[in-house]
Chain A
Amino acid sequence: MSSIDKSTYVEAMENLEVRTSPLTIDDALHLLRRATFHPTYQAAKALVGLAPSEAVSRLLSTPVAPLADLPWATTAPNYQDFAANARLWPEMQQWWMQRVLSVPHVHEKLIVFWHNVFTSDYIRVYIAQWMVNQHKLIRSNATNYAVLAEKIVGDPAMLRYLDGELNVKGRPNENFAREWFELFTLGIGNYTEQDIQDAARAFTGWRINGVQGVYSKQLADTDTKTILGKTGQWDWKDVVRITLESDVCARYIAKRIVKQFVEFYPTDDTITNVQQIVRSANYDMVAILQRLLSSEYFYTMSVRGALIKSPAELVVGLAASIGALRVQPSYCVASMTKLTQEPFYPPTVEGWKGHHAWITSSTFPQRQRFAEAFIDGRQAGSSAKLLDAEGKNFTPDVVAMVLQLPDADDAAKLVAHVASLMLAVPVTQKQLSVLLEIMLAGAQVYEWNVNSPSAPQRIKFLLQAIVRMPEYQLM
């Protein structure tokens, strides 16, 4: 790691000037770790030498492949039969996981980000069709926060999750209105209890009909309300408009974006700068990410490796980086669940807090055991083999993984390449020499032969030692 010039660093933090110097392989991996679930060597190599704005533009403009719908997504909900609904929930989780495993697009990361802003959980929503439709709504509108925020108001899953369907004229229910301001748009402290009460009235008029959210003006409270200091006969659309016009909203979304894609503890100045981008881009996420991910700030050494991977990033990222993406989606869902990120089931309406909240005295060793076993072709906590999507046993081909790297025949260089592929943090010479010892397992460095029968086991030892390091949890 080169030393950081303090003045450049401060300047980069305070303005989001576009970086012009071409991407190195480490820069490209950093970009992929943050912007996608697939930080692979091949994808990174394709970006090396490009100017950051060109690389980011390529990632963002890659066409998004269509997603095959679940066959039951548009069928009528079954309100009575618990078992019939419960059968659909894991199908939905695996459907999503299959997509994330197979499509390395930025879009997939963005979708998960929005799910953690506009939360819902399948237990409370209950009707799987509504959850799937909410996912599709987020999927179709992930590139524009303003559109998504407006459409989420009448989304059936949301109407159920935060009691919007029960929020009726004359007898308001404040649940959705409160979280609208606190978690979806402005953040705590930027509204009054009166704003919540009046917004709750303005959000009346919605009900659920089958798989649709239906709004009736006749059922809505059309009396005078005051929202964020503006008084009028506002309806739900007016609340959305007034809220999103606020600079506080742009600031809140800017902070969420920075915490997701760059660093967990941004300075006020950084947020101010990103807020300006959010405002000028009018909440268009492609424009915002294009600018942010091309900036000097995004590539400063101080933010690299400073985020803790979510379970989704750990599970899918590991599968991607060792070439094991054909793993059975259900096992990935189960692994994420054990690591406290069950898809479509956030712990509270706040979503997953992320970062330090991922790591406890239980989940940290659990992450290590998961990754060690995965490399070995086993399921964590059992002797069962990993299965592929067809249900057949499979072991990740770690030799193929290292053969894609340059210098696979040079043990010391190979260890260094694998470490920089797997770790977002530069490894020290001391760590490299221990990793080399672990891989060689007593053999001399000149005896290394990637094609020898013992090579797979030795590469596994290397990879397992890497995934046990605390550094592996960082990205």
Chain B
Amino acid sequence: MKRRSFLRKAGIAGAAVSTLPTLVDSFTVQALAGGDPRLHAMLEDQDRILVLIQLFGGNDGLNTVIPIDDPRYYEGRPTIAIPKSKTLKINDDLGLHPAMAGMRGLYDQGQLAILQGVSYPNPDRSHFRGTDIWLTATDADVLGSTGWVGRYLQTLAPGYPTELPAHPLAIQIGTQTSLGLLGSTGTMGISFRDPEEFYRLVNGGGGSGEVPSSDQTDTAVGREIAFMRNIAKSADVYAQVVKQANDKAGSTSTSFPATDLGGKLKVISQLISGGLKTRVYLVSWASASFDTHANQTLTTDSTLGTHSDLLGELSDAVTAFMAEMKVKGQHERVSGMTFSEFGRRVAENGSVGTDHGTAAPLFVFGSQVNGGIYGKNPDLEDLDVIGDMKMQYDYRDIYASVLLQWFGVASTTAQQLLYKDFSAKAPSIFTALPTSVGDHRGAERRFLTVTPNPASDVVAVRANVLEGSHATLTLRDMRGAVCASVGVDSWTGVGRFNVSALVEGAYVVTLEDGRSTAHTFIHVSR
């Protein structure tokens, strides 16, 4: 999608622009780019991609990211605990489930962030309510009617669905359309299982003429007709675009596992490789569920069984997907995140399983991800009254990281999208926004880390600079005014800004070292 043409369209709409605060940052970054083609390209080429993987049913976090040094884990789970020696050890007190060798590899490459204890205040233990809370990004006692992704996508296409972007904004691989993709004017995404089948369905109709729409009325029936016509319209427009991208991609270079999730991530990899500018993909299992009340593991071997199969399917599919993205040179554009409506209880039940619980780990993966462990092992002594683990991160802290650091939205926008300001606690999951460098995308990573981000006082920027070269970092606000300029220590590659006097919000950091210029964002938050 050409972001600029959207803005132009929005501009034609006149008054609408000033009343759409979410567009302000788009305009300001346009202005900010000034005459710098690289920054302009980076700002305009808004094609970073997020792949969301939903683990419906409530993934058992304790048997996924395992506290191997905690006797209470083994006491609570005499049958289903994973023996310490069998885990894929990450450090002295933590190991991954043995089925997750692939994701362990991503961790070793610094491409997997493990966020511990993700939940929200007053967690709900219902699958359906819990899922809705995660998808709508609302407090536990608020019934949301739109999805957090849908709201974000609406900022990119405020005229949707009257004005459709050239490429679909979001795609769900499957037969449902998630609440997460729902914006205030209907779903912002399309869904299909297979690009070819989708094309045939949309274009395979008889030719005996179309009946015009009845007048749209604000009645129950009128709203349902409008609902279907909008869905039909996006299907008509996008079936061709999706097929073209799929055809253009050719065959994959990586062998994907022949599983439900493997097949779906393969389709996504093809669409990305084929040039589709879709921003968000959403997948979940068609029928398998993480709701492991019974027979979560084999009684003879706790490393095998239903849960192991599911984690193995996840890990193998994600690993193949990222490998394929790397081969196709797309890996710097793509990040992924898993989520599940809740974790499970510390103590196993009497059925070789676990009942519904609360906080659980969440994974974020990608080459731009600042890999590592965020948070600590759950405290299995300090449980809630029911026997469930307490929260370390609000799930919306992570959403804020994605919005601020991955999609580069302004913190005021993120606050609007998530209904509250979560930027202060948003962990620095992404090392830096990927630098779009026009003709040689992804050729080189110039920014290594920006920590902390968001920052409140001193922020350290570590860059990839030629030894002995003279490199500078310039910090500018979103209007383009220079706030600070510092040199980069050529030995350590680190430059530091003190941002304690700056107002909260997004800033652009520009690196210049005679070879080239690169840009990234930081956020000031208190």
Residues of A within 8 A of B (CB): 123, 162-163, 166-168, 170-175, 178, 182, 188-189, 193, 197, 263, 265, 302-306, 308, 340, 347-350, 356-357, 359-366, 368-369, 372, 376, 381, 425, 427-428, 430-431, 434-435, 437-438, 441, 461, 464-466, 468-471, 473-474
The answer to whether B289 and A348 touch across the interface, beta carbons within 8 angstroms, is yes
Interface centre among A178, A361, A466 (most CB of B within 10 A): A361
The answer to whether B221 and A173 touch across the interface, beta carbons within 8 angstroms, is no
Chain B contacts for A350, CB-based, 8 A: 127-128
**Nearest residue, chain A, Cβ from B235:** A361
In the bound complex, what is the Cα–Cα distance between A465 and B210 (angstroms)? Answer: 6
Interface centre among B124, B127, B227, B355 (most CB of A within 10 A): B355
Given known A178-B356, A302-B220, A365-B201, contact A359–B231 (CB-CB < 8 A): yes
The answer to whether A306 and B221 touch across the interface, beta carbons within 8 angstroms, is yes
Q: Least Cβ distance of B230 to chain A in Å?
A: 10
11 A-B pairs, CB-CB below 8 angstroms? A173-B349, A174-B356, A188-B124, A302-B220, A308-B224, A350-B127, A357-B176, A381-B200, A425-B225, A464-B206, A468-B205
Give which listed residue, B129, B191, B214, B224, contacts A360 with CB less than 8 A. B191
Give which listed residue, B211, B213, B215, contacts A468 with CB less than 8 A. B211
**Nearest residue, chain A, Cβ from B384:** A193
Q: Mark B95-121, 1 if CB is under 8 A from A, else 0.
A: 000000000000000000000000000
Q: Is B374 an interface residue (CB 8 A)?
A: no
In the bound complex, what is the Cα–Cα distance between A166 and B349 (angstroms)? Answer: 9
The answer to whether B201 and A362 touch across the interface, beta carbons within 8 angstroms, is yes
Interface centre among B56, B177, B221, B227 (most CB of A within 10 A): B221
The answer to whether A362 and B219 touch across the interface, beta carbons within 8 angstroms, is no
Interface centre among B224, B356, B386 (most CB of A within 10 A): B224
The answer to whether B238 and A361 touch across the interface, beta carbons within 8 angstroms, is yes
Q: Least Cβ distance of B200 to chain A in Å?
A: 7
In the bound complex, what is the Cα–Cα distance between A197 and B208 (angstroms)? Answer: 60
Chain B contacts for A189, CB-based, 8 A: 129
Interface residue SS majority, chain B = loop
Given known A359-B227, A360-B177, contact A372–B198 (CB-CB < 8 A): no
The answer to whether A362 and B349 touch across the interface, beta carbons within 8 angstroms, is no
Chain B contacts for A168, CB-based, 8 A: 350
The answer to whether A434 and B191 touch across the interface, beta carbons within 8 angstroms, is no
Chain B contacts for A364, CB-based, 8 A: 228, 231-232, 235
Give which listed residue, B176, B197, B205, contacts A372 with CB less than 8 A. B205
In the bound complex, what is the Cα–Cα distance between A182 and B349 (angstroms)? Answer: 20
**Nearest residue, chain B, Cβ from A434:** B211
Q: Least Cβ distance of B331 to chain A in Å?
A: 28
The answer to whether B175 and A471 touch across the interface, beta carbons within 8 angstroms, is no
Chain A contacts for B202, CB-based, 8 A: 361, 365
The answer to whether A304 and B125 touch across the interface, beta carbons within 8 angstroms, is no
In the bound complex, what is the Cα–Cα distance between A347 and B193 (angstroms)? Answer: 16
Given known A166-B294, A469-B211, contact A340–B176 (CB-CB < 8 A): yes
Given known A178-B356, A359-B227, contact A369–B205 (CB-CB < 8 A): yes
In the bound complex, what is the Cα–Cα distance between A461 and B177 (angstroms)? Answer: 31
The answer to whether A360 and B231 touch across the interface, beta carbons within 8 angstroms, is yes
Q: Is B234 an interface residue (CB 8 A)?
A: yes
The answer to whether B235 and A170 touch across the interface, beta carbons within 8 angstroms, is no
Chain A contacts for B208, CB-based, 8 A: 438, 441, 461, 464-465
Chain B contacts for A308, CB-based, 8 A: 224
The answer to whether A171 and B349 touch across the interface, beta carbons within 8 angstroms, is yes
Chain A contacts for B201, CB-based, 8 A: 362, 365-366, 369
The answer to whether A166 and B350 touch across the interface, beta carbons within 8 angstroms, is yes
Chain A contacts for B231, CB-based, 8 A: 359-361, 364
Give which listed residue, B200, B211, B235, B353, contacts A466 with CB less than 8 A. B211
Q: Is B190 an interface residue (CB 8 A)?
A: yes
Given known A362-B175, A364-B228, A369-B205, contact A174–B200 (CB-CB < 8 A): no
**Nearest residue, chain A, Cβ from B242:** A361
Q: Least Cβ distance of A311 to chain B in Å?
A: 11
Q: Least Cβ distance of A297 to chain B in Å?
A: 13
The answer to whether B175 and A306 touch across the interface, beta carbons within 8 angstroms, is no
Q: Is B126 an interface residue (CB 8 A)?
A: yes
The answer to whether B224 and A427 touch across the interface, beta carbons within 8 angstroms, is no
Q: Is B287 an interface residue (CB 8 A)?
A: yes
The answer to whether B221 and A170 touch across the interface, beta carbons within 8 angstroms, is no
Chain A contacts for B228, CB-based, 8 A: 359, 364, 470, 473
